[in-house]
Amino acid sequence: MNLLLDTHVLLWWASGSGLDDRAIGVISDPGNLVYVSAASIWEVSVKQALGKLSVDGDLDAMVADEFEPLDIGFVHARVAGELPAHHRDPFDRILIAQGKVDGLTILTRDREFSNYDVSLMQV
């Protein structure tokens, strides 16, 4: 299975708390490709700069060691802009677009994602 982590799922993975055993199993399954979007790194950086978030350790190194990077492309940006306005968060809209365009299952706890035609796994 090809998976895309929502930003909060990435942060819970990095902190070692907040995820149930099923989510941990899916993320750690070597048969799954697990992606982290550049949008998530961007979101974390913005929130850190605003003083709204603190992350222990080197998140970039952890992501590089454990996951596949997913850049934001023109098609992702266009699809994100064309999505219905169910969800206004631009970071989440990019993740939804990436899931749609690249055929990824998004691991999230955000119920708003279910308003879109994208593969989801609620965690």
Spatial contact of 102 and 70, defined as CB atoms under 8 Å apart: yes
List pLDDT tens digits, range 104-123: 999 999 999 999 999 999 99
What tens digit of pLDDT does each residue of 56-101 get? 889 999 999 999 999 999 999 999 999 999 988 999 999 999 999 9
**Digit-coded pLDDT (tens) for 19-41:** 999 999 999 999 999 999 999 99
* Contact between residue 123 and residue 20 where contact means Cβ atoms under 8 Å apart: yes
Superfamily of domain 2-122: 5'-nuclease (3.40.50.1010)
Q: What residue ranges do the domains of the chain occupy? A: 2-122
In this structure, what is the dihedral angle of CA atoms 96, 17, 26, 8, given to the nearest 10 degrees? 10
Phi-psi region of 45 (alpha: psi -120 to 50; beta: other; left: phi over 0): alpha
